Structure 1
Amino acid sequence: MRLVAALILCALAQGSWAQDCRTDTVYLKGDWGQARFSVEIADDVEERAQGLMHRESMPSSAGMLFVYDRPQKLSFWMRNTLIPLDLLFIDATGTIQNIHHSAQPLDETPIRGGSDLTHVLEINGGLAKAMGIVPGTVVRHPTFSNLEADWPC
């Protein structure tokens, strides 16, 4: 049921692309379609360390966007994270480079996203596959500096 609600919300978001970019919203688009997620931002050491730990649920249209100052290798784990998550690893241009699907709650195995990454978007586990989100998908948010010319913030 949550998945159906998320797909409906994302479909409704398709009509709102003309809106100004907001720091609490990310937009995604690719050959599969378009989506919008309300996000919390984790852009300092403390916020990134806390992430989505200890939460028992998250709305299907929500997520957390981790923002880093410079391109780097990124690796995550699920310590103290109670819900399965999809981790979307993104470069400075706003392009998804790698996706880890349905990371298992409480698992401390490193989840390597790759190198030259500046962002990670965490959404509910299973949503990326269900929606068809794949590497190459473009993400729109004010923290990306080199977005494609027809979709800038």
Structure 2
Amino acid sequence: MKSFTNNIRTIFFVFICSFAVAGTFASCNKKLKTTELIITKADGNVLSVTAEMAVTPEEREYGFMERKKIPDGTGMIFIFEKDEVLRFWMKNTPTALSIAYIDRNGIIKEIFDMQPFSLEGIESSSSVRYALEVPKGWYAKNGIKPGDKIRLNF
């Protein structure tokens, strides 16, 4: 009887947790606000990227999960409340991405490429405030490098 009661409790717990997780993901499938980010390269050339804004913990956790197509010239900016070492992975993300870690002054500190579905954590080597994900290779194709500056319009 004790085993039966424990099984019922386990099933109930899994059932409740499933609804909690589904609710979190459902709320992250909503359309995020966007902003136009202006990037000034070291040579003075300027370009822009239209970025969805991931502000809440749920939005940041979900990110580009399940997205099969991310158009060139678009991305997602992850906005954190304080400077910290950030770590991203590609769980449930089918599209290859490049990520830039950005300090609170808008300076790109590092850029990394990330592989679809990889569980390898890509960690910033110093505390930063933002991360900008774009389609893989976009930074290289546009000559964007660490030290370039992003004007943050939010």
TM range (shorter): 0.7 to 0.9
* 1:79-114 per-position Cα deviation (integer Å, ceiling 9, x unaligned): 01111101000000000000002x100000010122
The alignment-based identity, stated in percent, is 31
- Give the 5 Å matches for 1:5-16: none
Rg bigger for which structure? 2
Q: By how many angstroms is 1:118 displaced?
A: 0.4
Length, aligned pairs only: 121
Q: CA RMSD in A?
A: 1.4
Q: By how many angstroms is 1:115 displaced?
A: 2.2
- Give the 5 Å matches for 1:125-144: 125-143=136-154
Q: Distance in 2 between matches of 1:127 and 1:64?
A: 13
Q: Distance in 2 between matches of 1:73 and 1:90?
A: 11
Which 4+ stretches in 1 moved above 3 angstroms? Answer: none
Letter paired with 1:136: G
TM-score (norm: length of structure 2): 0.75
Q: By how many angstroms is 1:130 displaced?
A: 1.1
Q: 2:46 aligns with which of 15, 26, 34?
A: 34
Aligned to 2:68: 56
Letter paired with 2:127: D
TM-score (norm: length of structure 1): 0.75
Greater helix fraction, Structure 1 or Structure 2: 2
| Structure 2: unaligned runs, 5 residues or longer | 1-32
Determine helix, strand or coil for the equivalent of 1:134.
coil
Aligned to 2:88: 76
